[in-house]
Amino acid sequence: MTSSGNKTRIAEENPSRTPDDTAGVQVMGIINVTPDSFSDGGQISNENALLTQVEQMVLDGADIIDIGGESTRPFAEKVSAEEELSRVIPAIEAIKRNFHIPISIDTCKAEVADKAIQAGAGIINDISGLTLDPAMISVAIRHNVPVIIMHMQGTPRDMQINPSYDNVVNDIFASLSGRISWAEEQGLSRQNIIIDPGIGFGKTINHNLTIIRQLKKFTSLGCQVLVGHSRKAFIGTILSIDDPQKRDEATAVLSAICAANGAAILRVHDVARTVQAVKIVQAVMHGHQDNRS
C-alpha cells in the first residue's frame, strides 16, 4: 500500500462504542486489503483509497472496522504471515492515525494478531475459532482484548465440499460452547469472548437460513453474537445475483432479521444500509421518542 498524500481525517465527532457496550447492535465495516477477496478484492490499492472507504463507513455509522489481509472465500489459498503483515499493518496504522474507531484484525495467525494489536487493533477476529494457531490464545490473553471465535467446518479450501450436520444449530452450539469452555480454561475472560456461528463457512444454503432463523439460541451461551452474512454466495443463489456487490439490499434485510433475533454485532460491507435496518428494528421493538407519524 502506498500513500497518496491524503489529508488527515478525524472522526472525533462520531465516537464509536466498544464491543462490550450493550446499548445496541453494533455494525462492523469490512475492509479487505487483499487482491482476491470474493467481494471487493483489489479495490484498495493505496492509502488514500483505504482512508476514503473508512471515512465513508465512519460517516455512515460504523462502530468497528475489521481489517483482513488474507482471503477466506471458499477454496482460497493461504498466504504467508509476512505477506499478510505487509498488507494489514500499514492499513491499521493509517486508520489509527486518522480515526478514533475500534479496529478488528481478521486473522488466524498469532504473529499477525500480535503485531496488529501493537499497531492499534483492539479485537481479534479468528475464523478458525482459535484452532489453527496454538499461540493465538496467548496473544489474546496477554493483550487482554476481545476475541471473535467463529465456527467453521473444515478450512476455506474445503469447507464447501458437502458440509453436513446431524442438527446444524445444535452441532454449532455444542462446538462453540466447547471452544468457550476451553478458552476460559486457558485464562481468557468470557467477557472478552464474542461468538460467530460462521454463516457460509462449511454450510449449505439451508444451514445458513436455519442458523439465522434460530440465532437466539446462541445468545444463551452468555457471549455477544456476531453474524457475518454480507454479500455471501447463498444470497446470490437465492436471488440469482452473481455480482456480490449487488447483494447489499438483501444483506440489509438479513441484518434486520439478525438484529431482531439477538445479534450484537453485524459484520457487513455496506454500513449505511445496515445502520438503517438496525434503526428500524430497534424502533419497532423498543419504540421511537418522536411519536409523529
pLDDT at 18: 41
Dist. CA 293–CA 14, nearest whole Å: 28
Dist. CA 253–CA 76, nearest whole Å: 28
pLDDT at 47: 87
Q: What is the mean pLDDT of each run of 10 residues along the chain (293 residues)?
A: 43 40 78 65 72 96 96 73 94 96 97 98 96 97 98 75 90 97 97 97 96 97 97 97 97 97 97 96 86 63
pLDDT at 1: 54
Are the beta carbons of 274 and 256 closer than 8 angstroms?
Answer: no
pLDDT at 12: 41
Are the beta carbons of 152 and 159 closer than 8 angstroms?
Answer: yes
Instruction: State the catalytic residue, choosing from 179, 232, 247, 273.
Output: 232
What domains sit in the chain, N to C, each tagged with a CATH number?
26-284 (3.20.20.20)
Report the candidate in 82, 127, 120, 116 with the shortest Cα–Cα distance to residue 99: 120
pLDDT at 217: 97
Q: What's the CA dihedral at 277, 72, 238, 198 to 10 degrees?
A: -60
Instruction: State the catalytic residue, choosing from 267, 273, 279, 292.
Output: 267
177-182 long-range contacts, Cβ below 8 Å, gap at least 24?
A: 177/221, 179/129, 179/130, 179/131, 179/149, 180/149, 180/221, 180/223, 182/130
Q: Give the amino acid at 251.
A: T
**SS3 letters across the chain:** CECCCCCCCCCCCCCCCCCCCCCCCEEEEEEECCCCCCCCCCCCCEHHHHHHHHHHHHHHCCCEEEEECCCCCCCCCCCCHHHHHHHHHHHHHHHHHHCCCCEEEECCCHHHHHHHHHHCCCEEEECCCCCCCCCHHHHHHHHCCCEEEECCCCCCCCCCCCCCCCCHHHHHHHHHHHHHHHHHHHCCCHHHEEEECCCCCCCCHHHHHHHHHCCHHHHCCCCEEEECCCCCHHHHHHHCCCCHHHCHHHHHHHHHHHHHCCCCEEEECCHHHHHHHHHHHHHHHHCCCCCCC
**What does the radius of gyration of the chain's CA atoms come to, in whole angstroms?**
18
pLDDT at 161: 77
Dist. CA 240–CA 250, nearest whole Å: 12
pLDDT at 75: 61
Are the beta carbons of 248 and 225 closer than 8 angstroms?
Answer: no
pLDDT at 78: 78
232 is catalytic: yes
